[in-house]
Structure 1
Amino acid sequence: MTQNSEHTPAPADVDPQVVEIAEEIVTEEAVETAPEQTFADFGVHPAIVQALEAKGIVHPFPIQAMTLPVALGGHDIIGQAKTGTGKTLGFGIPALQRAIGPGEPGWDKLEAKGSAGAPQALIVAPTRELAVQVAGDLTAAAAQRPLRIATIYGGRAYEPQIEELQRGVEVVVGTPGRLIDLMRQRHLRLDLVNTVVLDEADEMLDLGFLPDVETLLGAVPAVRQTMLFSATMPGPVVAMARRYMTQPTHIRAADPEDEGLTKKDIRQLVYRAHHMDKDELVARALQAEGRGRTIIFTRTKRTAARVADELTARGFAAGALHGDLGQGAREQALRAFRNGKVDILVATDVAARGIDVDDVTHVFNFQAPEDEKTYVHRVGRTGRAGNKGVAVTLVDWEDMPRWSLIDKALGLGQPEPQETYSSSPHLFADLGIPKGTKGRLPKEKRVLEGLEGEVLEDLGGPESAPRG
């Protein structure tokens, strides 16, 4: 790798503004990662290596192999990667490695300065679900170290979060609004943070959070390591990187054989379907051979609730996740999905980021997504962590113009999806649905506990939820 960006040609789809501020560009083509390489080979703390091995995580993914040498050296990073590529550990391991926990070397110096227990790393995420997922991954990686990791987000009572901060934490993962609230109430100290991570920066832009993010960046020390990760690099994100980062290295994780905007491990099927037949079509498709955990995306909260109820009535173990649910109900649905109590999650786009379940086998778009970016985020919930996946999109007649634009933007080559009904032979053949399958799950196959298998917690605090 060269340290001079003049000698490294920019990939065609990298914003030239990003190149201007980048110290170097590292692409997957430029990094040769031996398959036997382990996290230990990158100088990762032995306790973190052991904790990851206990979870069966031994070999880094490409984005991690590219990020770790730069990030562990303390350099600023702009990471550009498709969803599902494993970037959480790419930034999480360096943040954990730099932090000092109670009783570890250097802790006595923090105590002497009166700074023991103040956050040393700040990770900002756009949604509650993503914050919870990131914190979970970091907690697993830090399982054999005394580091304390707090998850801070709205929709829950303030008091438990305040008490947790007062007891002392080394790493804070949170959403912008609640982080700012606690900072202004002087419960959250940011003056000793040495590592800042902005995860899914383009989503923060979409949700209108960039001003809040800049408020947080203005509150942390000027001398720090900053890592920004984003699937795309729109102008406002680039401008923020210019203002708050120092000679960042631009890391672009892309498989040279995977030129599309969606991952090549995802088989994408598109059908023109009638809205009156979709329930039956989906119910039959959910009985396809090899179908495991599944996410069904809908355009509206009302549709998500209706489809979840309909599938439950047909014998499937399904839960809904949308913005009209209180935080307790949303976390109940996510836990049930992760723990295998339900294997179908019917969700609005509030769930398009932050559901980090590696073994989602199928994603359904119940209606055509709003745009190509939404489509990419949705189908990226499957085919994660090296697995293969299937994405099925059902396009209504009236949505054909919208779908045509999505297809053209992504180069999918399916501008005129085949007219398809629940009884269409090609549907059965494409998805491997057993012959004779009807739209109700046979009683002998109803083996999961369902949503009731997870406790609905009273989390206190407001039950308001973000858009979704």
Structure 2
Amino acid sequence: MPPPPVPTHASERRNDHEAADMESFVPDISEADREAIRSRYLGVDKKKRKIRKINDRKFVFDWDTQDDTLAEDAPSVVGGQRQGAQILFGRGRVAGMDDGGGTRKSSDSNTYHADAMERRKAAKGGTDERHWTEKSLAEMKERDWRIFREDFSISARGGQIPHPLRSWTESQIPKTILECIEEIGYKEPSPIQRQAIPIGLQNRDIIGIAETGSGKTAAFVIPMLAFIEKLPPFTDENRHLGPYALIMAPTRELAQQIESEARKFAGPLGFKCVSIVGGRAVEEQQFNLREGAEIIIATPGRLKDVIERQVIVLSQCRYIVMDEADRMVHLGFEADLTFILDKLPSDMLEGEDPGEAMDVDGETMVKKGRTRVTTLFSATMPSAVERLARKYLRRPAVITIGEAGRAVDTVEQRVEFISGDEKKKQRMLEILNSGTYPAPIIVFVNQKKTADMVAKDLGRANWSASTLHSGKNQEQREAALQALRSGDADILVATDLAGRGIDVQDVSLVINYQMANSIEAYVHRIGRTGRAGKQGVAITFLTNEDDEVMYDLKNGNLPRAAATIDLILHPRDCQEPRQQGPHRIGQARVCPAPSLQRNETEKRGGGPGLARIRYTPCARIYHDVIRAKRIGPAI
């Protein structure tokens, strides 16, 4: 007998009836309407668009894909798809293992690329990979000349710049002057001589920016003598019209040094050189000029004086050299230079286009009326020198050797922080008594009284020292330099008077007992050593009073390896000149070194801790400086 049916609750029967009525009430809707209702109440899951980076975007070419020749040139592309990298471990020579079956034959791909490379070489005619030292002059290409200039740090601009000298024998220097060069003993040209002499032989105006001690004297003396050789010789008819060439220098010592160097060349050629400098009687110099002179070397002040006295005229002066022009301007000779240059004849030919290249010989210049070639040499290029160049030089060739305002690489620069004259004296004697540096040695100071004091201290320590400063007359200055050159004096104590142009051979050491007042003077001081390619050392004693030059010293001239920890972390070393006020947090600093704050432990006697380090915004952080400060002393 079947079980009785389960009784249905009244509420359940009512719900079933309501559901049936609801189904009959809801109308049929389309799937699109369902999606609209669903999106209205539930929202839509929108697919986020993937942003493609600029570097990931595929470039769409304008040409048709049928024009693509990649498949022909690259066999690794098969069926329009580039093949992925294949793992070649253990597969013969490709994986570094022997295949055991002899040498494999090259694949078609390798053969194709080898043939393509050969075709390119054949099309270009081949590239000679030999260095320029292995080639003859005729084999030199433009690429070789570019490498040549890079090797010697030569930069030249101005249009139609001739190639630099590789050697004396390959130059266009007249044979008579080449014989003088060989007799003097010049083996190889210096970088400034390599580029300045070819340009000077074209009788072009030159601006030479070269490191001190780079051989600038011969760079302008040799083209000048080649120019004078082509001019008519001196006779009774023209000797009273003045010299053919004029060389101006800032100091008497430099002028006399140039005179000595020029006589080495001019004497064998039959030319006469006369110096006109202060400190000597005008009557004596007038007597030396009684028979005329092809070359005059002068200081601007005395030259202006003799011109105003009508002792000399410059009616036929055709070659002008301004050596150490920045120093002459610094000493206040700018007005004197302008006066002298205005007394010279015009450098323009009648009816000549100022834009034309100046490439004519001296005889043509005399016949046609052009009367001046102007050469300006300087170690730095301040605005006053630029004004002179713009006014008196025409379409000059600008030569830069190395970096303007820097010392030569042959000078090893060292900096030591020493406060107090007594400590300076002790340290100076330690360096001199070490036996590392043979005589001659030059010690630079800033004041005359300091020079005399240091010389006395050296005398008490059994060193033979002479002094050179503005308190000495001309005879005493010449005697001091001669004593150093001859070996009678081991050390020369001098002010900046000897900082420029003084050439004493084989100076092994320069000591800046007092730091120079400007970075330009510092460059010329240390340029007394490391000359003519020889090595030299320059040691500078710094104090907190030298803060005006610290920034330029470290960031502009001093090599990174020579900067001591004290100099790197000095507050004024991190500040450009003429900037006032301390640095604050968040203030941009021009120095890449961090700003250090010692912790409170040091104040309580717990040692020089560096727990707290405050970094201001800067380009780099010298962690090695912090470590070196902990470990050891400075140089």
| TM-superposed deviation, 1:261 | 2.0
Provide Cα deviations, 1:319-368, integer angstroms capped at 9, x if missing partner: 10011111111110011112222121110001101211241111000022
Please tell me whether residue 374 in structure 1 is matched to residue 521 in structure 2. Answer: yes
**Aligned-partner SS, 1:192:** coil
1:286 to 406, 422, 432: 432
Query: Is 2:398 aligned against 1:232?
Result: no
TM (norm. structure 1) is 0.78
Structure number, greater radius of gyration: 2
Could you report, residue by residue, the CA deviation over 1:185-223 in whole angstroms, capped at 9, with x for unpaired residues? Answer: 111121101100011111111111111111111111212
Alignment match, 2:320: 196
The equivalences for 1:272-283 within 5 A come to: 272-274=417-419, 275-283=421-429
Q: Which runs of 5+ in 1 are unaligned?
A: 2-10, 12-18, 419-425, 431-468
Residues of 2 paired with 1:117 and 1:243: CA distance?
25
Q: CA deviation at 1:124?
A: 0.6
Selected match of 1:126 from 237, 250, 264: 250
Per-residue deviation, 1:270: 0.9
- Contact 2:405–2:520, Cα closer than 8 Å, also in 1: no
Q: Amino acid of the residue matched to residue 158 of structure 2? A: E
One-letter amino acid matched to 1:266: V
| 8 Å Cα contact 1:83/1:231 also seen in 2 | yes
Q: Which residue of 2 aligns with 1:151?
A: 275
C-alpha distance after superposition, 1:244-280 (max 9, x if no partner): 11111111122xxx79822221111111123212222
Q: In 1, Cα distance between the equivalents of 2:548 and 2:260?
A: 41
2: CA distance between counterparts of 1:364 and 1:125? Answer: 25
Q: Deviations over 1:46-91 (max 9, x none)?
A: 3332233222113211101101111011111111101100011111
Sequence identity, in percent? 36
Contact 1:363 1:390 in 2 (8 A): yes
Superposition pairs of residues 102-113 of structure 1, within 5 angstroms: 106-107=232-233, 110-111=234-235, 113=237
Deviates more, 1:325-334 or 1:353-362: 353-362
Q: Is residue 24 of structure 1 aligned with residue 170 of structure 2?
A: no
SS in structure 2 at match of 1:229: strand
Deviations 1:80-131 (A, max 9, x none): 101100011111111122225xxx9832xx5374347731000011111111
1:269 to 395, 404, 414: 414
Show the 5 A alignment for 1:133-148.
133-148=257-272
Matched, 1:253 2:379: no
Distance 1:105 1:364, change over 3 A: closer
CA 1:245–1:32 in structure 2 vs 1: closer, same or farther (change >3 Å)? closer
Instruction: Classify the secondary structure of the residue corresponding to 1:136.
Output: helix
Equivalence for 2:178? 49
Mapped contact 1:372–1:406 kept (Cα < 8 A):
yes
CA distance in 2, matches of 1:265, 1:91: 23
Cα separation, 1, equivalents of 2:216 and 2:552: 29
Distance 1:317 1:179 in 2: 36
In structure 2, the residue matched to 1:345 is 492
Distance 1:398 1:126, change over 3 A: closer
Which whole-Å CA distance do the structure 2 matches of 1:186 and 1:260 have between them?
38
Provide TM-score, normalisation by structure 2.
0.58
Return 232-241 or 394-403, whichever deviates more: 394-403
Structure with larger RCO (C-alpha < 8 A, sep 6+): 1
Query: Which residue of 1 is the match for residue 220 of structure 2?
Result: 91
Deviation of 1:162 (Å):
0.4
- Residues paired across the two proteins, number: 393
8 Å contact 1:321–1:348 — kept in the other structure?
Answer: yes
Query: Is residue 468–residue 493 contact of structure 2 (8 Å, CA) maintained in 1?
Result: yes
Cα distance in 1, alignment partners of residues 196 and 450 from structure 2:
40
Counterpart residue number, 2:107 = none
Paired with 1:248 and 1:398, the residues of 2 have a C-alpha distance of 41
Partner of 2:284: 160
CA distance in 1, matches of 2:235, 2:268: 22
Q: Which amino acid aligns with 2:414?
A: L
Contact map agreement 1:25 1:250 (CA 8 A) in 2: no
Q: What secondary structure, in the 3-state scheme, does the structure 2 residue paired with 1:111 have?
A: coil
Paired with 1:380 and 1:346, the residues of 2 have a C-alpha distance of 15
- For residue 412 of structure 2, give the secondary structure of its aligned residue in structure 1: strand
Deviation at 1:395, TM superposition (A): 1.4
SS of alignment partner, residue 235 of structure 2: helix
Counterpart Cα distance in 2 of 1:159 and 1:307: 37
Segments of 5+ residues of structure 2 without an aligned counterpart are 1-139, 141-149, 151-155, 348-371, 569-631
| Secondary structure of 1:155's aligned partner | coil
Larger deviation, residues 178-187 vs 82-91: 178-187
Give the secondary structure class of the aligned counterpart of 2:290: helix
One of 511, 516, 530 as aligned partner of 1:383: 530
Work out whether residues 239 and 292 of structure 2, in 8 Å CA contact, stay in contact via their aligned partners in 1.
no
1:324 matched residue in structure 2: 471
**Residues 282-291 or 136-145, more deviating:** 282-291
Offset from partner CA, 1:371-418 (integer Å, 9 cap, x none): 221211111111111011100011134435643553234354426259
Tell me the CA shift for residue 31 of structure 1: 5.8
Report if the CA contact (8 A) 2:211-2:405 is conserved.
Answer: no
Structure 1 residue matching 2:413: 3-state secondary structure? strand
The structure-2 alpha-carbon separation of the partners of 1:121 and 1:327, relative to structure 1 and needing over 3 Å to count, comes to same
Which of the numbers 340, 343, 348 marks the counterpart of 1:216? 340
SS at match of 1:286: helix
